[in-house]
Amino acid sequence: MKGIFVVFHGFASHNGISKKIFYQKKALASLGHDVRLCYPLIDANDGHYKRMLDDFVLEDYGTGITAKIKKRICYGAVTRYVRENGIEFAYVRSDHNANPALIRWFSALKKAGVKIVMEIPTYPYDSEYSRSPLKRRLSLAVDKCFRRALAKRIDRIVTFTDLDEIFGTPTIRISNGIDFSAIPVKKHVNDTSLRVNLIGVAQVHFWHGFDRVIEGMAAYYAGNPEREVVFHIVGEGVAEEICRLKNLSSGYGLDGKVIFHGCMSGQALDDMFETCDIGIASLGRHRNGITGIKTLKNREYAARGIPFTYSEMDDDFDTMPYVMKSPADESPLDIGQLLDFYHALDMTPAQIRDTIYGRLSWDVQMEKVMDGIRRL
């Protein structure tokens, strides 16, 4: 089938969301579908706002405030491309941006015979904005006003939850996936008799709950332990949250024990995983009202062959022996318990990876989407 994959933001090489989108598009191609990636771009060379289709400029809006607005509300060039090229479906990644312009565009796509599926990466998502700046909270208010009207123009919503419908629209339920060719398995199991390295990779937000790790480390070091524990935080994110975490770790005297590395990708990130022993996934999803979610991070840790801990429900991993479930509350992470769990584990990185190999590939997950589209 011929389709377009629509996103409403640009990309960064170190960003997990960017990687996910490229992996999803690659999976669709490997399944035999002809899919173009449609996205906005601010050209670094001339500063122009543009609508791109893969590497082709579909529309150049120019510069200035008018161009910025057009980038958000003008989709005529995409509609013409769809009509002229026999596009059969649109896979749209929600940016929580329902608005009248998007409703008009989806209506035009429906008139052109296009089947529309929209991925909502996290649901519910309203509480994610509780600590956001006013501008982002206002954008959510607009979304709240129009999302049900938008959903009426959508054939299916792709979700990583167990919900049968969202905003009154039936869902296609999948898991987040992995491109196994892009994520290497950990080669070595480190000597942890004197030091254990924890790693948390994220676009850091309050719902990652990294403060629970820092609080747990403070309690752990208060007992004068023989074994050193170091927490490596990899990634940027919300500046206020990172500042809060830095102040928290400094306040507990954990400088050198909690290390903020910033963004890492490629070989540098692979090397970091080789030095680390236990993954820290989300420990604060209860803070935004989410009990079950199938996060990318859980899957990446498993694909790399590293044991990990999280606090939400994820039925792909809840019973796995290499997972330590933490309580979904505000208690500090029990570092002693985490170390006991790790040292009792008798699985190699390759064995951990093998538990998800194939079944959680993006090819398998995107085939579920395409099967849902074919049934429409």
97: pLDDT strictly greater than 80: yes
110: pLDDT strictly greater than 90: yes
The pLDDT of residue 130 is 86
pTM of the model: 0.91
Percent of the chain with pLDDT over 90: 95
Average pLDDT over residues 21-30: 97
Cβ atoms within 10 A of the Cβ of 180, count? Answer: 18
pLDDT averaged over every residue in the chain:
96
Are the beta carbons of 25 and 37 closer than 8 angstroms?
Answer: yes
Work out the pLDDT band at 12, boundaries 50, 70, 90.
confident
94: pLDDT strictly greater than 90: yes
Work out the pLDDT band at 15, boundaries 50, 70, 90.
confident
Q: CA dist 160 to 123, 257, 313, Å?
A: 8, 34, 12
Question: Which domains, ranges and CATH numbers included, belong to the chain?
Answer: 2-177+361-374 (3.40.50.2000), 195-354 (3.40.50.2000)
Average pLDDT over residues 198-215: 97
Sheet holding 89-93, edge to edge: 56-62, 49-53, 34-42, 2-6, 89-93, 115-119, 156-159, 169-173, 165-166
